[in-house]
Amino acid sequence: MSVTARTCLIITCTRCGEVNDECQAIHADTIDDVRAWFSDWQWSNPDTPELCPGCVADLDCERDGHQWKPWQSATIPGREHIRFRSCAHCSDLEHAA
């Protein structure tokens, strides 16, 4: 029987608390494996991912402004007068009556 040592990592977003991407823990042989797995996260230093992709998008929009899609009318019967739009980058919503 052979034994292989692996590092178990639980990566948590420092802003929203999201854990990893779609799994609770990953097992990596090297930090390069971790970097590849979390390439869409923001890294402030080479060893620690800090912000998940959703928070990176939110902060981009806070800094640079939203990328609003065109206004749309609601499709709920009796509520067609309500209009809404969403941001193409962070998926924030805005509505108007």
Q: What residues does each domain of the chain span?
A: 1-52, 66-97
Gap between the Cα atoms of 21 and 8, Å rounded:
15
Mean pLDDT of 16-43: 74
User: How many residues comprise the chain?
Assistant: 97
DSSP for 23-79, please give it. SS-EEESSHHHHHHHTTTSEEEETTEEEE-HHHHHHHHHHHH---BPPPEE--STT-
Which pTM value belongs to this model?
0.64
Structure tokens at 5: 């040592």
- Provide the percentage of residues in the chain whose pLDDT is more than 70: 80
User: For the ranges 6-15, 68-77, 83-92, which has the lowest average pLDDT?
Assistant: 6-15
Measuring CA to CA, which residue among 7, 8, 36 is closest to residue 23? 8
Q: What is the mean pLDDT of the chain?
A: 81
Gap between the Cα atoms of 47 and 35, Å rounded:
8
